[in-house]
Chains A and B, each alone.
Chain A
Amino acid sequence: MIKIWSWGVVIFGAMFFALPLIGMAEFSLSMRRGVYSLDAYWVVLADPNFQATFGYSVIMALATIAFGVLLVVPTAYWVRLKIPAARPWVEFITLLPLVIPAIVIVFGYIRLYNTSSFLPMTGSVMGTNLLLMFGYATLSLPYMYRSIDTGLRTIDVATLTEAAQILGAGWVTIIGRVILPNVLASVLSGAFLTFAIVIGEFTMAALLDRPAFGPYMQILGANRAYEPAALAVIAFGLTWACMGLIGLVTLLSKHTQAAKR
């Protein structure tokens, strides 16, 4: 009896996820009346705006990931090594982006860094891009920090640091050659989440008026019928491809096998 119920719950949950996806995929294939076709996909992929905005968002995502790794790995490492008592506080700070809406952050940015401020970052395209990247990094901070911190927990940070130090290594070498490679799987999962957040982000990019993928999806969704569904399926597929890649990398990096045994 219990078994039937638990299967029922599983099936209900699966339907909860699967049905909208199936519906969306089905709809995206229905551009030509009466038969399934990939017409909507060709339209989307051929749209130069799609290529431009998607390319822009990918570059922004990569920049955000690089910045996030450079910021979070040394921070989480330092907190674990030197000020473990501060860990709850740092964790709290990294959680703040979850409770502060993106729109609040971006309004703050615009107020602080507008063209008549002391640091007119919104005055230039590069400045605005930089501002957007910082915004993205803030949004992804909770996920990035958490996954890297979890990764650091699996290695003996203090002893490995001392072992590297006594062999003559400085801080940059320690972080770059000892700490980072050993938490690479966690960094990648953080990076993947960051990628997903940046690709789908709408508010910040729209308010800073940058040609990102999020606003493009919104414009397309407001003006077309089948193409947005096709776009969503493409984005979904890309996300899953990313996830598969991460799994592959984790599988292929030999030394992490020890942790799994």
Chain B
Amino acid sequence: MAFLNLENLEKSFGETRVVRDFSLAVEQGEFVSFLGPSGCGKTTTLRMIAGFETPTSGSIQIGGVDVVNTRPNQRNIGMVFQSYALFPNLTVAQNVAFGLRVNGVDKATSAARVDEMLSMIGLGSLGARYPFQLSGGQQQRVALARALAPAPKVLLLDEPLSALDAQIRVSLRAEIRAIQQKLNITTIYVTHDQEEALSMSDRIVVMHKGIADQTGTPKEIYGRPATRFVASFIGTLNQLEAKVADSQSGQIALDDQIITLDRPIGHANGATVALAIRPQALRIGAPVTGEVSMRARVIEAHFLGAVVRLTLSVGYTQFSVDAFNRADTNLPEAGTDVVVAVAASDVLLLAD
């Protein structure tokens, strides 16, 4: 059985169902991100794991033990908050030692552990400082050390990088991931930043209106979005309205063209679907084996340095194509007709 098990979690505040039928099994040492826009229920789910919210129904098991009725201070969980939440009256070392001292660890052992934690986060020399004497990034690293010092079973991170500026965000996320892997600690990471989730996680849960839309590896989430929401939330994705012409032979009617996919379609004939294609999967030129193609008109071409972005149209639908900028690339003129090719397996069908 998985190390951290969430089964059919539900949380309602009055009439509003904030989290609906949420189930997830997290393995020991796994890094799972909850990704979604604000109000999607990701933080509420995290707070239920921490014990700050009580689920309306469902169960939470850590190491096979149900903890729904366990108070937060008995759960042995580490948590890092968006606002750092360091104790302003304590020094850095005292902050890191806090969890050890309240759990009755003696002074010498806790001092050794604090040193170990502070050198792990690279702030070994700043133990005597007060939180207000540190930068935001340093404060958040101290908060991480404080959460990890009592060797918790699970580490929860609630948008820990949101309050920091862009550069520190990137370096700190690599650092967090490295520490997590080194300690092999089961981690839940809440974020609304897809880049963070994609770059750090073993698995991502994309949440939307209290429902886990899709759970999968970053590659799966990006390459095979299961719902329209996931598709539109993660990265840029072209969505072209089309109708199923013949589901058996995989024929789809896009405006006045017929595109034949390499597989049967799981939708009835005549159903409206969206063809979802990443801009970088498309290419100008005649199709080769395994590719499908369509005719399109160039609306405009943007030169973005390393990348060239073309806006094309099929009928009234516009979409974009990204291509690497090579020295020999000739940008098509606006108004000309071109043929666009894409691997049939890169064309996703999303139902409404």
Name A's B-contacting residues (CB within 8 A).
155-156, 159-160, 162-170, 173, 177-178, 181-182, 184, 253-255, 257-258, 261
Contacts and interface: CB of A to CB of B under 8 A. Distances in A.
Contact of A155 (B88, B99, B102): B88
A255 B130 contact: yes
Interface string B120-150: 0000000000111000000000000011001
Given A258-B131, A258-B132, A165 B85 contact: no
A166 B88 contact: no
Given A181-B89, A182-B88, A182-B89, A162 B52 contact: yes
Instruction: Sort chain B's interface into a size bin.
Output: 20 to 34
A222 B325 CA distance: 100
A159 B79 CA distance: 11
B87 A159 contact: no
A186 to B, nearest CB: 13
Contacts of B87: 160, 163-164, 177-178, 182
Interface string B51-84: 1100000000000000000011111111101010
Contact of A162 (B71, B85, B98, B102): B85
A159 B146 contact: no
Nearest to A169: B102
B79 A166 contact: yes
Contacts of B257: none
A34 B152 CA distance: 79
Given A168-B102, A173-B102, 19 more contacts: A159-B81, A162-B50, A162-B85, A163-B86, A163-B87, A165-B71, A165-B73, A167-B99, A167-B150, A168-B103, A168-B150, A170-B102, A177-B87, A184-B89, A255-B89, A255-B132, A258-B130, A258-B132, A261-B132
Contacts of A170: 73, 102
Contacts of A178: 87, 89
12 contacts: A155-B88, A162-B52, A162-B72, A163-B87, A164-B87, A166-B50, A166-B75, A167-B150, A168-B102, A181-B89, A184-B89, A258-B88
A184 B87 CA distance: 14
Contacts of A164: 87, 98, 102
Nearest to B74: A168
B79 A162 contact: yes
A85 to B, nearest CB: 15
Given A167-B98, A173-B102, A178-B87, A162 B81 contact: yes
A82 to B, nearest CB: 12
Contacts of B147: 166-167
A146 to B, nearest CB: 22
A76 B132 CA distance: 25
B88 A255 contact: yes
Contacts of A155: 88
Contacts of A182: 87-89
A178 B73 CA distance: 15
Contacts of B86: 163
Nearest to B104: A168
A70 to B, nearest CB: 19
A260 to B, nearest CB: 10
A173 B131 CA distance: 20
A165 B85 CA distance: 12
Contacts of B103: 168
Contacts of B81: 159, 162-163
A120 B88 CA distance: 46
Interface string B201-222: 0000000000000000000000
A26 to B, nearest CB: 46
Interface centre among B71, B87, B156 (most CB of A within 10 A): B87
Nearest to A167: B99
A167 B102 contact: yes
Contacts of A253: 89
A181 B94 CA distance: 14
Nearest to A166: B79
A160 to B, nearest CB: 6
B109 to A, nearest CB: 15
Contacts of A257: 132
B130 A254 contact: yes
| The 4 A-B residue pairs with the shortest CB-CB distance in the complex, in nearest-first order | A258-B132, A167-B99, A163-B85, A181-B89
A156 B77 CA distance: 21
A153 to B, nearest CB: 14
A253 B132 CA distance: 13
Contacts of B78: 166
A159 to B, nearest CB: 4
Contacts of B51: 165-166
Contacts of B130: 254-255, 258
B197 to A, nearest CB: 23
Interface centre among A163, A253, A255 (most CB of B within 10 A): A163
A66 to B, nearest CB: 20
Nearest to A156: B83
B339 to A, nearest CB: 57
A162 B78 CA distance: 11
A129 B156 CA distance: 52
Interface string B221-253: 000000000000000000000000000000000
A169 B150 CA distance: 12
A166 B89 contact: no
Nearest to A261: B132
A127 to B, nearest CB: 38
B79 A163 contact: yes
A167 B85 contact: no
